[in-house]
Amino acid sequence: MSANMDHTKFARGRKIATDGAALRTNRAPKGAKREMRFRDLVEPALEAKRLRGNEPSSLASDRRRLRRVLPVLGHVKAGALTAGRIELFLQSLARGDALHDPVKGSTVNRYHSLLGSIFRHALRQGLIAANPLAGGSVERSKESPVVPRFLTAEEQRRLLRVIRQECPKKVLEVELAILCGARRGELWNAKWEDWKVREGVLLVHGKTGDRSVRVNRAARRCLLRLRKRAARDAIFITPERNESPRDSRLWFEKAVKKAGLVPAFRYHDLRHTYCSRLVAAGVPLLEVQQLAGHRSFQTTLRYAHLSPGHLKRAVEKVQF
């Protein structure tokens, strides 16, 4: 009898341990059909984006945002994902918590778009019965107008002075970024074979796909000097890119801080500096859009306030 009791206890303990393992792994018993959860919708949607030709940088941003989404919504059954539940999650992003700072309305909208794309794909594939974000059930956040930050002539002198002192080999990279207006990712991945010297263009690939960056005389001098000091077997224009695919800009952030640039100045603002100087020089906004590779003309319009004199001269041409 004692042996039977021990066997019963052993069987019961084994069942409890098995059930506990199932809970920990979140796996359904063998042969049973587990109900679809939000995390099951993610990878098929991202793969569909990749096959449609979405940029790797866009997919990387999606995965970065999913690190905030999945701990909260990943375990939720697909049928339980209501508009109200998603709205509460988006509000938590805007509010922030002990581990995360509050995010701006524009960032909340990026999360909204990501979730919407996942639900639309799941609906098309028959994985869910309805899209909880359909019909504007969860309103988008208000976005503050984007005011481009750019270097003044005095700020540029201060910044370059610090870079010459702290990391002199980086001066040409900063000058090139201002002179051609390419995005950091575009310059980071640009190869020497992509520089067409006779045509005066640098072929780059980035956020908006393939495009040609115009290289003026000053930018050409920067490239020639970079080429002269590059190793013979160098493939990429940016020296560090030949050593590692990881782009570290700590040197730039330290230089900005030491130069005392206020408000905060980012590497991407070098591109804003390029666009701002084109507009201030009287270059038509349509040409600025083409030179900067803006996908939308609305993006270029952010710089329109920098050319009041140009607009005044234009309106004076209207005669009665």
Segment 288-309 mean pLDDT: 86
Tokens of 194: 């992509």
Q: How many domains does the chain have?
A: 2
Of residues 34, 114, 23, the one with CA closest to residue 67: 114
- The whole-number average pLDDT for the span 214-239 is 95
Q: Are residues 48 and 162 in the same domain?
A: no
In a domain, 196, yes or no: yes
List pLDDT tens digits, range 59-71.
Answer: 889 999 999 999 9
Domain contains 60:
yes
Q: Quick one: pLDDT at residue 180?
A: 96
Residues 102 and 204 in one domain: no
pLDDT tens column, 236-275 = 999 999 998 888 889 999 999 999 999 889 999 999 999 9
Give yes or no: residues 176 and 132 share one domain.
Answer: no
| Summary mean pLDDT of the chain | 87
Q: Does 172 share its domain with 46? A: no
Residue 251 lies in a domain: yes
pLDDT of residue 247: 85
Assess whether 48 and 80 both reside in one domain.
yes
For the question of whether the overall pTM of this predicted structure is more than 0.85, the answer is no
Q: What is the CATH number of the domain that holds 117?
A: 1.10.150.130
Domain that holds residue 184: 153-315
Residues 252 and 174 in one domain: yes
User: Is residue 294 located within the same domain as residue 223?
Assistant: yes
Residue 9 inside a domain? The answer is no
**CA–CA gap between residue 320 and residue 311 (Å, rounded):** 18
**In this structure, are 187 and 278 located in the same domain?**
yes
Residues 199 and 266 in one domain: yes
112, pLDDT greater than 90: yes
Answer yes or no: are the C-beta atoms of 122 and 49 closer than 8 Å. no
At residue 266, the pLDDT reads 93
CATH number of 222's domain: 1.10.443.10
Q: Is residue 291 part of a domain?
A: yes
pLDDT at 88 over 50: yes
User: Does position 299 have pLDDT exceeding 50, yes or no?
Assistant: yes
pLDDT band at 30 (very low <50, low <70, confident <90, very high): low
Q: Which of 136, 166, 181 is the last residue of a domain?
A: 136
Length of the chain as a residue count:
320
Residue 191 belongs to some domain of the structure: yes
| Beta pairing partners, 212 | 203
Quick check: is 147 in a domain?
no
Q: What mean pLDDT comes out for the span 193-207?
A: 93
**Alpha carbon distances (Å) from 123 to 25, 45, 134, 277:** 27, 10, 11, 47
Report cis status (omega within 30 of 0) of the bond before 308: no
pLDDT above 70: percentage of residues in the chain? 87
With cut-offs at 50, 70 and 90, classify the pLDDT of residue 89: very high
Same domain, 120 and 197: no
